[in-house]
Amino acid sequence: MNDPLAYHITWTTYGTWLPGDARGWIKSGESGIQEPDEKLRQVARSLMTQEPVYLNETQRAIVDSTIREVISYSGWTLHALNVRTNHIHLVLTAERNPETVMEQLKAWCSRRLNEHVGTKRKWWTEHGSTKWINDESYFANAVRYVNEGQ
C-alpha cells in the first residue's frame, strides 16, 4: 500500500456530540452513522464529569496557533485547518500514524488551553476521526470541505 497523500483528522470538544445524538453518531467498531437514541444520549450525559466545552474566540485562536506550531515543529505539512466552537477539522501530511498525530495535537492544545484558563480540564472527546486520503480528488474535496464547508 502506498503512503497516503494526507490525513483528514477531526475531533470534537468534550460533551458536544454524545452517543445517541439527534444528528446521528458513530459507534466504535461499527460502520456508518447510527440512528438517534435519546435514552442513550441521556445516559451518556449523566456520565459526564463536567459541562460540555464550547471554545470561545480566544480559545479557538489558541488551538489554531498551537496546531500550526506543532505541525511546523514536527515537519508535517498543513493543507487546511478549521477550528470551530465544538470541533476541529484539519488536512495534513505527516510521516506518522494519524492516530499519533491526532493525540499529539490534542495533548498540546489541552496543555495550552489549561495554561490559558489556569486549571486542568477535559477539552476533547476521547477519540476522533482519522481518514486516510489516497487520491487527488479526495484530497481536493477534503481541503475544500475544511476551508469552505464549515
- Residues 58, 74: Cα–Cα separation, whole Å: 24
pLDDT tens string 30-57: 778 888 889 999 999 999 999 999 999 9
Closest CA to 14 of 120, 121, 102: 121
pTM: 0.91
Query: DSSP per residue over 4-42, as a string?
Result: PSEEEEEEEBTTSS-TT-TT-EEPTT--SEEPP-HHHHH
Burial of residue 6, with CB atoms counted within 10 A of its CB: 0-12 exposed, 13-18 middle, 19 or more buried: buried
Q: What are phi and psi of 54, to 5 degrees?
A: -120, 120
All structural domains of the chain: 6-16+52-148 (3.30.70.1290), 17-50 (no CATH)
Residue 24 has a pLDDT of 82
Grid coordinates given for 134: 489516497
In this predicted structure, the answer to whether residue 1 has a pLDDT above a threshold of 70 is: no
pLDDT average, residue stretch 58-70: 98
Confidence of residue 121 (pLDDT cuts 50, 70, 90): very high
Q: What is the residue-averaged pLDDT of the chain?
A: 93
